[in-house]
Chain A
Amino acid sequence: MKIGRRSFLSLGIGGIAGIMLSPLPWKLMDDSAIWTQAWPWTPVPPKGEATYVNSACTLCPGGCGISVRKINGRAVKIEGIEGHPVNDGGICVLGLSGLQLLYGPTRIRFPFKRVGERGAGKWSEISWEEAISEVAQKLGDLRKNGQSESVACLSGNDKGTVPALFKRFFSAYGSSNFMRIPSVSDSYELAVLRSSGQKAQLAFDIENSDFILSFGSGIIEGWGSPVHMIRANSIVRKAGGKIIQIEPRLSNTAAKSDKWIPINPGTEYALALGIANVIILKSLFNKNFVDSNTSEFNKFAAFVKSVYSIDNVEKITGIKKETIEALALEFAGAAKPVAVCGRGQGKVQGSLGEVMAVQALNALVGNINKKGGVFTVSDHRYFTLPGSVPDATKLANHFTDEVKSGKYTAAVLFVYESNPLYSLSDSKSVREAFAKIPFIVSFSSFMDETATNSDLILPNHVYLERYEDVYAASLPIPVISLSSPVVSPQFDTKHAGDVILKIAKKMGSPVADSFAWNSYDSYLEEAFGDNWKVLSEQGFLEDRTVALAALITASKKFDFTAGFTDIKSLYTPLVTEGDPDKYPLFLIPYDSMRIASGYIGDPPFAVKTVEDTVLKGNDILVEVNPVTAKALGLLEGNSAIVETARGKAKVKIHLFEGIMPGLVAMPRGLGHSAYDNYLAGKGVNINELIGSLEDPASGLDAAWGIRAALIKA
């Protein structure tokens, strides 16, 4: 009964020794280590053989070639294709994050029909059959009532076979309201049209130039084809070329340039004209070119001489006379100079006068349609279709105003590869206009702002799930790449091309008669005809004949006056909105490679790269010169309210020596209300604060900023 002290002790000690000698504690220790190395909630990616699929990125107009690594059917990494004419292996933040979009939580999984209030987020899942019938029915009814024109489309893009299908549909249906989202291309196109009578785009040959005079173009900030331009910048650097950046803020392009010249915002055109004046006065221009390839030179020369004297330009732009003179000498003296315009990433149209003034400089040095200069690239067709593809492009920047004012009644709006509710300026007006459109159909793959506020969603495949021809933006030698399905569709989505074909078929004759194809894929292959083999095998087409064609057709004369009898009306200084007393500062947007501001919202990886001087928690920081901040009693990190005639927003202050006093700079691309928790609610959408500023010469939106007040909060 009694356990002796001794036996108790020996039992204890013996027991412990026994346990320690047994495998038990060691096994438990080992298990504990293994368990912490593979916690069930830490994912273990399954292994497998790696394969690569070549495709093209469509997340911005860049048109980069991509190679996607796959493991057992899963896409695991996107890389740039080495040797691809657009990006040669390089790839941007957004392109690298593509898989977060493909597999992300904001994908729309099936066709949805709104059930609650618009924008309340109440949806019911419907079948593709029902969805297509509903659209066909609605369009059919309108057409019957002679209201075809009340159907409109806002497209992010007007190049390639899918926009062509849309345009063809609109034409067959009887509406001319297929519009692309506004961008600097609109003013490039208009400038080329008015100055040379051509329907063409401007493409600046940066990589072959030796002196780049950039009027605020964000050459390394996502301008044109972003990766291509960054490569071009490196090529220029290596070749010993010079880049001069003219803009009020020390952007990355300015920081990398050989010389940054701050300028009073909105006066870039005046500087260009001032430089032109010096070149003409000093007879530094290319006489041969001017004589044989331009018209109205004398009128232009007289005009700049009288209005844009170097003293005057100094006053307007805030740039010293000597600097202007030196710029003129260097520009005219360079072997292959090019003057470049289109601010930031080129998201805003800009004034016609600015593009014309810059083109005048290029004309003076005779570098239009020459290597290292600027090319007018005509709207070539790589694909042919039986019948014609109508040119139905309209200016989209007037659309919302007309809808809002009732000048145009929109009954149905298609939204394709764009997110107008977020990306058009003066968001409040856009919302009001959209509220007047009874039926909005979104083709979006993601729950973006516009999809959230639509009535029917017909979700498109993501680019990694579909075929499509992809056009690199603004290259002198156009490149078309083929986006190919990397993975099978992850959800019950359909190619927008197929959806248009189905809607047309459902509507029956006569609309259906223009659409003989059974599927988008067969249409694509047929459309490319002989080119299909190269496109599908090589992955891209490079059309060197276009650049050559541009050189040859250069006989078309460049009209220095753009057909304006009164040149002054082309170069009217624009007054930005707002009472200078109430709004003593200027708010300007800036672009960044790290913040996607187009129809795609920044994916988590990209948001992660945003500096804490731009975004802190959910607060956006605006850049202010310390001198300005001091006058307003603001310190680094202070909260403040930015107010403009269009709205106000809470911000934080970031002191930045690289911005002109009197300005407030805010990044584009933040302030999303849609998408996921990695993006939504962070910062402010600058479009809520900026309105449009109509260029009387062209009707384009020339806003580069807006008057603003900054009040300590």
Chain B
Amino acid sequence: MDSKIISGELKRCSTWQFALWISAAGAVLLWGVYAMLLCWFKGLNQTNMNDSYGFALWIWADLAIIALGGGAFFTGFLRYIIGKDELKNIVNYAVIIGFICYSSALIILGIDVGQPIRGWFIFWHANVHSMLTEVAFCLTCYLFVLIIEYIPIILENRRIDNIPFFHNLGHNMHSIMAVFAATGVFLSFFHQGSLGGVSGVLFGRPFAYREGVLIWPWTFFLFTWSAAACGPCFTILITKITEKITGKRLVKDNVIELLAKISGWMIGTYIIAKIIDTVYWIKVTLPATGFGLMDFYSNNPFYGIWILVLEIVICGILPALILISEKGRKNRYGLIIAAILAVLGVCINRWVLVLQVMAAPVLTFETWQMYFPSWQEIATTILPLAYGIIIISFSYRYLPVFPQEKELNPWTINGGK
């Protein structure tokens, strides 16, 4: 039915199959939208957040998906600025994933604030001292960059490309894409950092607080670094999942392995920095506030020292070692496991720096606060997942996302026009 708009000679599933798939994702999306509307019309009493958990699941989701969306800026950086040409075969997909992550983050932020209609006050009455102001500006600008990067991919759709104007527009945009990519990279370095700054500057919260240089706490740099390190792993993981679902190979191994190798080195260096940061925090920053390390890892039902071990050793050192070693990253399982661990690691890091901060008491006469999100929070957090699946599905079906697909799947090419 829709074969006329399907790109080139690529084989895609039947329309009804596609419709079924989309409606399944759509149902989840609607559930999320329903929860979103509840939050907007009834207010944030729909959540399980409270005055101790002003930041909760949503802020974690924002931080995590933006870190994961880091694959876009870092792949772009490698492709356009460092000149790793092979990566052109995955950069499209990295951009789409990045776009999904960033737009999702903004949707969640739109639900998360108590007065969404006044959300623009963050720009209008901007406080230059606030990390969140920096985040808001960079995030919004970068989303525009991602849209600009996404447009040429859309313009490559077979039907659109037939229109000469769009064909030319797409061509022209491609040729200046390096400029946007560079802008994007710059913005990303900043807002990933600002997100790290969000918790790092909280000098009233010894668990989160980090010293640093000038106005930037160490978490500023660690966040950028970890996003650059783990984002590509997420791109790899999503690519592998896409390959699994479509039953086709879409990106050549050498491309994946290159990205994996760079990622491995990034994770490795990041985790060394993270360990240094943690040791300095334990030995210098914390004691000055009267806290010992174990004050934050005991006397509560959830946050034990295991979480630090999991984050640094199992989800940091281990994936770094796997990906750095040629044998590791060339092994099918090794690659996937390392990617999963890296993604998990960055998610735990963001979790800890949002939720454990809220959970741990600072006043001596307060106690640990535990929290479990309401279904509305969960639904709205899953919403981006469904939304992402739908964007990816449409993009994959109608746009030439993977330049190597034709080459890798010669026998599945549609017969003629």
Contact = CB atoms under 8 A, between A and B. Distances in A.
Direct contact of A and B (CB under 8 A): yes
Contacts of B118: 32-33, 36
Contacts of A5: 163, 165
Contact of A9 (B115, B117, B121, B165): B165
Interface in A23-59: 29, 32-33, 35-36
A33 B121 contact: yes
B120 interface: yes
A5 B165 CA distance: 8
Interface in B107-127: 115, 117-118, 120-121
A144 to B, nearest CB: 63
A33 B118 CA distance: 6
B194 to A, nearest CB: 25
Contact of B120 (A6, A29, A35): A29
A33 B117 CA distance: 7
A34 B380 CA distance: 28
Contacts of A36: 115, 117-118
Interface in B91-141: 115, 117-118, 120-121
B117 A35 contact: yes
A5 B163 CA distance: 10
Contacts of B163: 5
A535 to B, nearest CB: 47
Contacts of A33: 117-118, 121
A35 B165 CA distance: 43
A658 B253 CA distance: 70
Contacts, number: 14
A694 B7 CA distance: 96
Interface residues of B, number: 7
Contacts of B165: 5-6, 9
A29 B118 CA distance: 8
Contacts of A35: 117
A32 B116 CA distance: 10
Nearest to A37: B118
A36 B120 CA distance: 13
Nearest to B164: A5
A33 B120 CA distance: 9
Nearest to B114: A36
A42 to B, nearest CB: 12
Contacts of A32: 117-118
A160 B163 CA distance: 97
B144 to A, nearest CB: 15
Interface string A1-27: 000011001000000000000000000
Nearest to A4: B165
Nearest to A29: B120
A30 to B, nearest CB: 10
B51 to A, nearest CB: 13
A9 B117 CA distance: 31
Contacts of B117: 32-33, 35-36
A173 to B, nearest CB: 57
Nearest to B165: A5
Nearest to A6: B165
Contacts of B120: 29
Interface string B66-78: 0000000000000
A29 B124 CA distance: 11
Contacts of B115: 36
Interface in A453-502: none
A158 to B, nearest CB: 45
B229 to A, nearest CB: 39
Interface string B266-309: 00000000000000000000000000000000000000000000
A314 B163 CA distance: 104
Nearest to A31: B117
A8 to B, nearest CB: 10
A571 to B, nearest CB: 44
B66 to A, nearest CB: 26
Nearest to A30: B124
Interface string B159-174: 0000101000000000
A333 B117 CA distance: 72
Nearest to B121: A33
Nearest to B166: A5
A36 B165 CA distance: 44
B240 to A, nearest CB: 40
A5 B168 CA distance: 13
Interface in B167-222: none
A5 B121 CA distance: 38
Contacts of A29: 120
A657 to B, nearest CB: 15
A6 B115 CA distance: 41
Nearest to A32: B117
A553 B165 CA distance: 113
Nearest to A5: B165
B147 to A, nearest CB: 15
Nearest to A35: B117
A32 B119 CA distance: 10
A7 to B, nearest CB: 12
A398 B120 CA distance: 70
B233 to A, nearest CB: 39
Interface string A663-677: 000000000000000
Nearest to B116: A36
Nearest to A33: B118
Contacts of B121: 33
Interface in A529-561: none
B45 to A, nearest CB: 15
Interface of B: 115, 117-118, 120-121, 163, 165
14 contacts: A5-B163, A5-B165, A6-B165, A9-B165, A29-B120, A32-B117, A32-B118, A33-B117, A33-B118, A33-B121, A35-B117, A36-B115, A36-B117, A36-B118
The 7 A-B pairs of least Cβ separation, nearest first, read A32-B117, A36-B117, A5-B165, A36-B115, A33-B118, A36-B118, A29-B120
Given A29-B120, A36-B117, 4 more contacts: A5-B165, A33-B121, A36-B115, A36-B118
